[in-house]
């Protein structure tokens, strides 16, 4: 029987404040699963029109699925968040794009008709579970030359990008990093970030209980001059530093997706409409180029061009990786459409959780920019991949950016 494909919408998204990984970080004594449980509970609190029993599945991603990030975390988090026992759940892993893949996988189920409403998200507690903890990679992947040995260290893959694209200088990377810090600081000052955050109770055996209400990683006031003095840990006299890279972080995200007709039935907000998505593989040692072919595939599937995209949320694993994307598509380093509230260099990158952070932030931008019809979220992925999701703004008025600013079609033609 032929099945109609249903429109999928992004209803709401939240995240924890992002902490620094390690014994001094604010989540050092907080469980990873408790972070994502709180996100799920907050989504249900914010959306009382959604009966918990209407949630059809819970997909939660983690890169390191061990300890308090293991045991099919989507199911255990669902139970602990108070969803009925009838609501199933599962875990998912695509390294940094785990939450992004949780969204695209469950959204496909909605479009097919298997689900009406889902919760998707991700968590990473890099303080408790460093990347690659407990893994046993098959040695043949290197001994047989399937990947270059540098591919297993993400910072080295970023240095490889500088080698391949020498015009992407350290100075450009540092300047982009400073701009990320400045944009995030301004967004906080404008009260533009806080609506996305779920306050988290924290515990410290030395200091007692606390409340995390803001990200821990930002370094406002960072200057290009200060970044120029930082060490290059991945290569002597290299170009990648702690200042032009995302840090090691702890945090979680979650979002509600629904069929558009079901969202209307339940009175749920429609913040974004899914248009297309794509994942692509690249040489693992050049991991950071992944968003380029993924975006080209997603655009082709949607029948769009890069000129149709009015807002970009690009994960800033490394500044050079973003610059590769911008140069490929002819976008300026300081284009205001790109990461308007800053990115992972400033806020942090708790691996598998970050895809939903990008989506939640894009949804906020859409509300503020009804002149923009399409936006995208994109990220590079370890072991040589990229992922891109294209979204449509339900608030789009049909008005172009120039028309919003008082420019007419005649002015543009002239």
Per-residue pLDDT tens digits for 103-117: 999 999 999 999 999
Compute the mean pLDDT over every residue in the chain, rounded to the nearest whole number.
94
pLDDT at 408 over 70: no
CB 27 within 8 A of CB 365: no
* pLDDT cut 90: percent of the chain above it: 89
Task: Establish if 405 belongs to a structural domain.
Answer: no
Task: Establish if 272 belongs to a structural domain.
Answer: yes
CB 299 within 8 A of CB 305: yes
Residue 44, SS3 per DSSP? helix
Please report the pLDDT score of residue 363 as a whole number. 98
- pLDDT grade for 414, boundaries at 50, 70 and 90: very low
Please report the pLDDT score of residue 152 as a whole number. 85
Task: Establish if 261 belongs to a structural domain.
Answer: yes
pLDDT at 4 over 90: no
How many domains would you assign to the chain?
1
Least confident of 160-169, 201-210, 279-288: 201-210
Least confident of 276-280, 328-332, 403-407: 403-407
- Strands 57-61, 89-92: parallel, antiparallel or unpaired by DSSP? parallel
Task: Establish if 1 belongs to a structural domain.
Answer: no
Give the Cα separation of 52 and 50 in Å (integer). Answer: 6
Give the Cα separation of 218 and 178 in Å (integer). Answer: 11
Task: Establish if 109 belongs to a structural domain.
Answer: yes
Q: Mean per-residue pLDDT for 329-347?
A: 98
Per-residue pLDDT tens digits for 18-45: 999 999 999 999 999 999 999 999 999 9
pLDDT at 331 over 80: yes
Please report the pLDDT score of residue 405 as a whole number. 46
Give the Cα separation of 247 and 65 in Å (integer). Answer: 20
pLDDT at 403 over 70: no
Task: Establish if 286 belongs to a structural domain.
Answer: yes
Rama region for 95: left / alpha / beta (φ>0; ψ in -120 to 50; rest): left
pLDDT at 143 over 90: no
- pLDDT grade for 304, boundaries at 50, 70 and 90: very high
Task: Establish if 175 belongs to a structural domain.
Answer: yes
Range of the domain at 41: 8-128+148-392
Please report the pLDDT score of residue 74 as a whole number. 98
Distance between start and end Cα atoms, the chain: 53
Give the residue numbers annotated as catalytic, written as ranges: 96, 349, 380
Question: Could you tell me the CATH number of the domain that includes residue 324?
Answer: 3.40.47.10
CB 87 within 8 A of CB 58: yes
* Closest to 334 measured CA to CA, from 326, 343, 345: 326
Give the Cα separation of 44 and 119 in Å (integer). Answer: 10
pTM for this predicted structure: 0.94
Residue with tokens 């702690």: 242
Eight-class DSSP state of 96: B
CA 404 to chain centre: 29
* Closest to 69 measured CA to CA, from 251, 255, 256: 251
């Amino acid at each position: 029987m032929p099945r109609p494909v249903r429109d999928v919408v992004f209803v709401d998204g939240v995240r924890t404040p992002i902490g620094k990984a390690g014994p001094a970080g604010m989540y050092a004594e907080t469980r990873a699963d408790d972070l994502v449980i709180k996100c799920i509970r907050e989504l249900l609190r914010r959306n009382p029109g959604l009966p918990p029993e209407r949630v059809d599945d819970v997909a939660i991603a983690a890169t390191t699925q061990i300890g308090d990030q293991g045991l099919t975390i989507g199911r255990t988090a669902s139970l602990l968040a108070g969803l009925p026992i009838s609501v199933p759940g599962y875990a998912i892993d695509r390294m940094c794009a785990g939450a992004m893949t949780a969204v695209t996988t469950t959204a496909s189920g909605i479009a097919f008709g298997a689900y009406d409403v889902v919760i998707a998200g991700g968590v990473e507690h890099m303080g408790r579970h460093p990347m690659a903890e407990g893994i046993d990679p098959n040695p043949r992947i290197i001994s047989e030359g399937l990947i270059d040995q540098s591919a297993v260290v993400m910072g080295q893959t970023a240095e490889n990008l500088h080698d391949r694209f020498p015009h992407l200088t350290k100075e450009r990377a540092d300047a982009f990093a400073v701009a990320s810090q400045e944009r995030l600081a301004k967004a906080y000052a404008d009260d533009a970030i806080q609506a996305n955050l779920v306050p988290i109770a924290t515990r410290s055996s030395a200091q007692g209980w606390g409340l995390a209400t803001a990200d821990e990683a930002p370094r406002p006031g960072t200057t290009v001059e200060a970044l120029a003095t930082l060490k290059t840990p991945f290569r002597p006299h290299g170009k990648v530093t702690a200042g032009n890279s995302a840090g090691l972080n702890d945090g979680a995200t979650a979002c509600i997706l629904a069929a558009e007709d079901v969202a209307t039935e339940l009175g749920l907000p429609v913040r974004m409409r899914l248009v297309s998505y794509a994942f692509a593989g690249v040489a693992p040692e050049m991991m950071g180029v992944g968003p380029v072919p993924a975006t080209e595939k997603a655009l082709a599937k949607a029948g769009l061009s890069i000129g149709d995209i009015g807002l970009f949320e690009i994960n800033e694993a490394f500044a050079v990786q973003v610059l590769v994307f911008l140069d490929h598509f002819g976008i300026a380093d300081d284009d205001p459409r790109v990461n308007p509230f800053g990115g992972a260099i400033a806020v942090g990158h708790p691996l598998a959780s970050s895809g939903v952070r990008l989506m939640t932030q894009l949804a906020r931008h859409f509300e503020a920019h009804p002149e923009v019809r399409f936006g995208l979220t994109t990220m590079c992925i370890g072991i040589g991949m990229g992922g891109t999701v294209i979204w449509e703004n339900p608030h789009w008025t049909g008005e172009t950016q120039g028309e919003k600013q008082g420019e007419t079609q005649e002015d543009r033609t002239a």
